[in-house]
Amino acid sequence: MVAKRIIPCLDVKDGVTVKGVNFEGLKEVGDAVTLGARYASEGADELVYLDISATREGRRTFIGLVEKIAGCIDIPFTVGGGISDVETAARLLDAGADKISINSAAVRTPQLITEIASRYGSQFVVVAIDAKCIDGIWRATTHGGSILTDLELCSWAHEAQERGAGEILFTSMDHDGTFNGYPCEVYARLAERLSIPVIASGGAGSVEDIADVLTKGGADAALAASIFHYGMVSIPVLKRELAKRKINVRI
């Protein structure tokens, strides 16, 4: 059985890790490189770095930061934000990133998923979907959650899979930063629809929340930010508690 992954997420703005609620009210929580190194030493399976202002501000992810991260940690990490073409993806991978995450650009140009996957392999491509529930329908957003699209979550995720995505990172905007738990029923539907791994993001507030999304939600990995940034639970404690619940994690 493949082990479930625990993935701290570092939302980066101007090189500093920030966190908000429902993508708003951002507060600085620490240096992006220092935090990443700490989480790696504590037993994180992977890291995700998202330059959350890159798309809205028309900037590309800062290559220098990726190089610093690659020089300080020894676990896989994914980088996203402002990646709009194959060349930018190539520069990030050359700088040391293990995977790239695309969101707005994938919606705008779905063929980009195929182009990157064809050149580097599906295992390098994570399609991120930030979605919110509108009148009972989960709809994808772009540009850091500021633009609502007509794309339905499961349909768009399936299309991304068919175009070559190796993983889907679904963040519930309705749950982001609330500590109220993940919408497990939505993750369960998504996991049933897809044959590629699903990373759950948005809402972790306790060990129980993470255990639920990995079991009831069928997610392959749990991504969380605030719960780690604010010291609500450490990665070693989390993994020990998950193991007690018979959830297969690397300890």
Annotation marks residue 11 as catalytic: yes
Rg (C-alpha) for the chain, rounded Å, is: 16
CA–CA separation, 2 and 4 (whole Å)? 7
Number of neighbouring beta carbons within 10 Å of residue 104: 25
Determine how β-strand 137-142 pairs with β-strand 125-134: antiparallel
Q: Which of 130, 176, 212, 220 is catalytic?
A: 130
CA–CA separation, 212 and 242 (whole Å)? 10
Check if the beta carbon of residue 42 is closer than 8 Å to that of residue 70.
no
> Which residues have CB under 8 Å from 146's CB, separation 6+?
56
Q: Which of 11, 45, 51, 176 is catalytic?
A: 11
Annotation marks residue 98 as catalytic: no
Q: Which residues are known to be catalytic?
A: 11, 130
